[in-house]
A and B are shown apart, each in its own frame.
Chain A
Amino acid sequence: MNAPRLSKQVISLALVAPLLLFLIVFFALPLVTMMKSAVSDPVAARTLPATARSVSSWNRTSPPTVEMQAAFVADLRQISDDQLFGDLVRRLNSAKSGFRTLMPKTRKAALDTAGSIDLVALDKRWGDISYWQAVSVAASSKITDRNLLAAVDLQRDASGAIASVPADASANKAIMLRTFVMALTVTGACVLIGFPFAMIAASVDGWKRQLLLGAVLLPLWTSLLVRTAAWFILLQDRGLINSVLMQSGVTSSPIPLIFNRAGVIIAMTHVLLPFMVLPIFSVLIGIPKNLMPAAASLGAHPVRAFLNVLLPLGLRGVVSGSLLVFMSALGYYITPALIGGAKDQMISSVIAYYATGAANWGMAGALGLVLLAATMILYAIYLRLSSERETSP
């Protein structure tokens, strides 16, 4: 490669650099930060350094040694920051409940007396080996798979093996399943409406096609919040739909349409339908106009021609459209948050709850990682399909 060609590439790179840098810092780095928060667990290792050292030689099955107890007490005496101590308690309590009361009590004793303390005498829970196991696991590593396991309703039991969490405490799997089912329902609804609609739009022309496409594009260009607000207003108990139904005597009391599954599905279908119609339409419109007459001239019945020619080609659009809709639906937040009830919240809402409501960044990060991975896999498939289409028309 000679110099001028190289310099062309250098110029290209220099032009791309600001954007690349911007996206690395403000797009990739936040995602990395989020992923790190899912696995990082520094608080116990930072606050209990001496304990970490002394438990490294412990086999985690024999009773706790005297040195370990002394190191633990020494560490407790070192913690001056109450907030940090709070973090530590929360961390330990999340591994084994009981620490919430045990820790303040122990710290108070450690600060009040100067010499060594018999912890088991202070509280008999310190005689229970599982508490020490929790302390040992927390203190000896700065990273953890706890959040990732919890995201899929798993945990490590006392011996460190992976096990399911008790049925009453498991919620995430249910939410993922719900998210999956809702996204699938919306995708299905979009296919059922979008495919025939795109076929109709491709089969007419002139103002009719303009009208049909305009009907798809106008919602697409309209603010998402406006569309959600519109559905909110329409679906209310005393909203337009219910008043029409009641006045026409179909029902005597309002049908619950809002804060439930049906409402969310309707609104999401409305919001995502354009993403189904447009890819199908663009595939259909790319089919040479004379293909259908050609099939007919070869003696194919219109229905046969449709089944053998148009349908298979259109299905490729359906696949891309479905991937797009499903991918978007998986990560949906606004519509379920505003129109759904507590039982219709999808994984995004749970992530938002962990992040803003509970300040549990570990869980927010872990669930975010699951959602991110699912989305990226779907996107990779989508890219694969669309690049295949480009190379083999």
Chain B
Amino acid sequence: MSKRQLAMVMDLNKCIGCQTCTVACKVQWTNRNGRDYMYWNNVETAPGKGYPKNWQESGGGWEGSVLKDGKIPSLANDYGMPVQMNYEQALFAGTDPWLAAANNPAWTPNWDEDEGAGEFPNSHHFYLPRICNHCTNPACLAACPRGAIYKREEDGIVLVDQSRCRGYRHCVAACPYKKVYFNPLFNRSEKCIFCYPRVEQGIPPACAKQCVGRIRHVGFLDDEAGPVHKIVVKWKAALPLRPDFGTEPNVYYVPPLSSPKYDAEGKVTDESRIPIEFLEKLFGPRVGEVLKLLEAERAKKGRGEESELMDLLIAYRQEEMFKIR
């Protein structure tokens, strides 16, 4: 465990799935040199298979104090080969069909975007943005026989030492979130670095700073004046993803409230469309409690009363979402 922990809160009620975070990260870090297929930040549709495909069933994480076996996803079948489009021909020569993929992908990030689950009119989905969780008990770190992965004392950021990594990929298999990626060009593993070069200069991670929905707060968990402490510790309104994996993630999600179900006559019921069991699997047993808290605080705000939690989540001023010093 590090001395301090920098953490992120993502409010799933505000995520519109625009992928601005994905693009911010990609442009900053992964659009070159063997990283083209990697999405250190991805936004997937839940329910869904996600990215890489079926990551939740890919093993890894902890069973008590023992690492569970995990699998290494395949580029073509689980991550998805970067799709090559025939831009040259389409834009400058003119072809029919006009714009087409040059390869035939089996899977890509967002392959099942917006599919979700349920039958009309009770279909449902929400967006689930995912980055490395900079875990308190990182399975990736424990799995590396070379000690090439480390967790920084000063902020808990988990990094792969590129000079020590020899591309064995035990970390890729061990991370239950599949947030370590293998770079075949350099024969090394790489992952989200929580934008540490930005953070060290007091600038928030690119994915958080660029987020148009203002869903991402960044701060130290122990900083009582910071937004993350207030939402996670004081209000207990955000929860880690798949806590059952045992890695103790430091990305926290404000769980999504659900639209109500319609009955056979088309009347609105009080049943929620997103099954609570589904949310409990993702965010643990406290999710129902948190959803009630959110509803109550939202109702207060609706009545014109004060709600510190709602004010925090609304994020009137973007700069107040980040306190990283």
A, B in one complex: no
